[in-house]
Amino acid sequence: MGRAIGIDLGTTFSAAAIVDEQQRARAIPNAEGMLTTPSVALWYEGAFVVGQPALELVQRAEGAEHDRLGASLIRGVKRMIGKPPQGGLFSNGHRTDPVEVSAAILAKLARDASTHLGFPVRAAVITVPAHFVDQERSATKAAAERAGLRVLQIINEPSAAALTYTHGQTAQAGTALVFDLGGGTFDATVLQLGEHEARVLATKGIEELGGINFTNSLASALRKRYEQETQSTYPNTTTASTLLVTAAERAKCELSEAQSTRVQLAPPQGKAVEITLTRQQFESQIDLLLFQLQIAVEQALERAKKSAGDIQRVLLCGGSSRIPAVQQMLTTFFGRKPEATLDLDLSVALGAAYQAATYREDPTTHTPGLQMIAEEGLVIDCVSYPVGIAVENTRGEDVKLIMLQPGDVLNTWSKPYPVLIRGTAATFPPIDVYSGEGTQLSARDYLGSITLALPPGTPSGARASVMMRQDQSGLVQVQITIAGRDLPGTLRRA
Ligand SMILES: Nc1ncnc2c1ncn2[C@@H]1O[C@H](COP(=O)(O)OP(=O)(O)OP(=O)(O)O)[C@@H](O)[C@H]1O
Ligand SMILES: [Mg+2]
């Protein structure tokens, strides 16, 4: 029998975990013997090479080949999932897309896990940032399916971290805030923690705020310093840029431990220089980012109808929560130090594994693979992004009618919205569905449209109603009721 694993598909690092015989989640080492896998991919000799081996291919290459492979290495694909870049995505001459690249990363994680565990891994719970909307979730699911995995559920990263906390030795009940600052994304989630389960009260995320931003702002400071001290322009080549970002990344991590660090910059075709960077200089570079993080925390609390004083524990999660200035901001805001009880790099994958362990093969069905056994979910999560439909207001303008609000419980139908069937078409008049806040319709937030085959003979002028919910994975579902019959609608995704 195969068991399901949990996968944290991160912007910079990914990890897989499984619950062992002692009912404890354990991270699964990859083929390189590491518990985390760099989320990078390089098209090489007709296939994607993923993780450390891809980084080594670039490192080993020399001259123009090094530059070419370096430019072909795809990093941070999670920031593109569900919103493919215009003009396409290329690696080493191969035209690809974020789903294919994510599938390659997931395939390596599953393959390495299968080798380590000694049985084929075919099903997984996969984590995404809580603020991910339908497109990003469904694209992540599509990537996993393309990697040959059955997606049992998609769960929110901070919720997964909370599950690891509630399963930990020292777990205590109470109101908590999970502060999840990873490599590419940020979520603040307020939860009610129980003995072994967690209930999400509210969440607020920032789509593109993570370690990459801290590194980039340090890289631009380093570039300025280089130019001041050498009185020359920093070379504008791929290799020189990679060098700068790598140096900034290392300096950033060192400044979490030390008050100052020395950076040697010797780009090819450029002068060599040694720069001393202090923690204080780094902190002045990132104060705007810190402020944005604090605002998001305030908004999460506001959505949860809690104040800072109601939060009994602040749980750190994600590699970037190691930054002392981030912890200091939280200490000042909450009047107490945040807890570093969780493994910052693995707690999300471990939590996904706990959730995966609630799925069992159902002996009563003959369908192959795992079926969800009715065991209650360990985490009761909520809608994390608003969803609405396009309607005409009394002034004849198209606006959004929000049907699902952050904080609504997952798997619970919204209030029905009445619609009139016009004409005698066999299909339901398509209703456009949008995510995003406010009543404005924006092409960026367009999720797709609702389609439905009408029962034969439905007269023109018949009344119907539309309801919406987000399922356990946070994916939008629709239902249409006509003449007392509930019919599943389909969200035809854009
Ligand atoms: N000591 C440190 N000081 C500062 N930053 C650190 C430190 N160690 C790791 N990081 C940063 O943590 C980030 C990686 O964290 P993590 O693995 O949690 O992110 P991820 O899962 O890849 O991203 P996300 O969850 O946003 O998709 C990187 O940006 C890395 O630079
Ligand atoms: Mg992460």
List the residue whose alpha carbon is closest to atom 7 of ligand 1.
253
Task: Summarize pLDDT for 288-320 with one digit per residue, the tens.
Answer: 999 999 999 999 999 999 999 999 999 999 999
CA-CA-CA-CA torsion sign (301, 307, 312, 314): positive
Domain 5-170+342-380 has CATH 2.40.50.140: no
Domain boundaries, the chain: 5-170+342-380, 211-285, 387-493
Buried-state track 257-283, b at ≥16 Cβ within 10 A, e below 16: eeeebebebebeebeebebebebeebb
pLDDT score, position 100:
98
pLDDT score, position 1:
41
Which run of H or E residues covers position 491?
strand 485-493
pLDDT score, position 354:
93
Q: Is the CB of 38 under 6 A from ligand 1?
A: no
From 390, 381, 370, 369, select the one nearest 442 (Cα to Cα): 390
**CATH code, residues 387-493:** 2.60.34
pLDDT score, position 425:
56
**Residue among 7, 11, 178 to mutate when testing ligand 1 (max atoms within 8 A of CB):** 11
Which run of H or E residues covers position 314?
strand 313-317
Which stretches in the chain have pLDDT values below 70? 1-2, 362-377, 423-428
List the residue whose alpha carbon is closest to atom 18 of ligand 1.
318
Task: Summarize pLDDT for 26-65 with one digit per residue, the tens.
Answer: 999 999 999 999 999 999 999 999 999 999 999 999 988 9
Cα–Cα distance, 402 to 391 (Å, whole number):
10
CA–CA distance from 97 to each of 9, 13, 73, 78, 400 (Å)? 16, 19, 13, 11, 30
Cα–Cα distance, 263 to 250 (Å, whole number):
9
Task: Summarize pLDDT for 449-493 with one digit per residue, the tens.
Answer: 988 777 777 777 888 888 999 999 999 999 888 888 888 888 888
Strands 5-8 and 446-451: unpaired
Strands (E), 167-297: 174-181, 186-193, 198-206, 260-265, 273-278
Q: Is the CB of 186 under 6 A from ligand 1?
A: no
DSSP 8-state assignment for residue 474: S
Q: Is the CB of 184 under 6 A from ligand 1?
A: yes
pTM of the entire structure? 0.94
**CATH code, residues 211-285:** 3.90.640.10
Tokens of 394: 């009394």
